[in-house]
């Protein structure tokens, strides 16, 4: 079992991977004039302060965004990510970290729409405060998967769905795949970004097999590990399944993943995976 509250892990190596990929994907998708619908099924609190007790508990950001903060040799995808985080910090000191809702909000154009789902009552309140009164954003305290299904297909036939659950019980891994398959049937041309933690490798292997058997085409996998798998320790690696990724993403991750594996790990134990799980 993994209990993954966003606040305790803000800015860690998993956030570096998921948020850098998310920013690149959204930047690409907002280049087209047609409006975009963005759906975040598990939004969290939206914004985090590194002076607060939750992020400070384990200081995971030290081994994530903290290691990239002053780097001058960053690959383009990571430079874009670090610059996005810096825009939320008034000084050169790393104090604030924007979660996926704020990063998504930052790229919205006039006719784009962002739908945020968060069930946790405290996080929902904090999320509402962080986003502010933005008419382009809808925040609901309902089930994110049910909300996702109801919002697809979008009226303009363009959408990005970001799925970042806590995986608190082992059935969550199977439920995520089932929900994605159902959503893909409703809107097959949408872009889906699905985060996963690696605690027991067997569960990720099962997710991969299920996606391969699903009939869904064009699935890429990007994974980053900072140490070898160790179920007794917890999460040493995490990854993303991306369905219908932008064509630019593969080359960008070919540069970013080796850099992250080298710079965020200790004693050279970092590794990465870059795979076309299912062809177009």
Q: Please give the positions annotated as active site.
A: 164
CA–CA separation, 268 and 213 (whole Å): 35
* CB of 150 closer than 8 Å to CB of 159: no
Query: Which of 91, 92, 17, 12 lies closest to 48 in space, CA to CA?
Result: 12
Decide: helix, strand or coil at residue 176. helix
Q: Encoding tokens for residue 17?
A: 């991977």
Phi and psi, residue 219, nearest 5°: -115, 125
Nearest to 249 by CA among 184, 145, 160, 155: 160
DSSP reduced 3-state for 214: coil
8 Å CB contact between 16 and 71: no
Q: Are strands 47-49 and 96-98 parallel, antiparallel or unpaired?
A: antiparallel
Peptide bond into 153 cis (omega under 30): yes
């Amino acid at each position: 079992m993994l209990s993954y509250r966003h606040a305790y892990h803000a800015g860690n190596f998993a956030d570096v991977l998921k948020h850098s990929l998310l920013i690149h994907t959204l930047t690409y998708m907002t280049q087209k004039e047609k409006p975009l619908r963005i759906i975040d099924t598990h939004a969290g609190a939206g914004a985090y302060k590194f002076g607060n007790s939750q992020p400070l508990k384990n200081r995971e950001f030290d081994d994530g965004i903290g290691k990239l903060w002053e780097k001058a040799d960053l690959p383009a995808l990571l430079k874009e990510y670090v610059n996005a985080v810096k825009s939320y910090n008034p000084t050169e000191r790393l104090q604030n970290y924007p979660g996926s809702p704020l990063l998504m909000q930052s790229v919205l154009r006039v006719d784009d729409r962002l739908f945020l789902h968060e069930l946790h009552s405290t996080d929902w309140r904090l999320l509402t405060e962080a986003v502010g009164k933005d008419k382009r954003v809808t925040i609901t305290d309902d089930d994110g998967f049910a909300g996702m299904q109801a919002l697809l297909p979008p009226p303009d036939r363009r959408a990005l769905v970001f799925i970042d659950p806590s995986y608190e019980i082992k059935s969550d891994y199977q439920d995520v795949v089932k929900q994605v398959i159902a959503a893909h049937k409703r809107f097959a041309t949408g872009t889906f970004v699905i985060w996963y933690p690696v605690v027991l490798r067997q569960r990720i292997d099962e997710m991969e097999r299920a996606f391969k058997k699903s009939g869904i085409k064009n699935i890429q996998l990007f994974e980053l590990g900072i140490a070898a798998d160790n179920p007794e320790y917890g999460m040493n690696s995490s990854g993303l399944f991306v369905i219908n990724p932008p064509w630019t993403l593969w080359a960008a991750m070919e540069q970013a993943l080796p850099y992250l594996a080298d710079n965020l790990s200790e004693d050279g134990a970092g590794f990465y995976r870059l795979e076309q799980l299912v062809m177009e």
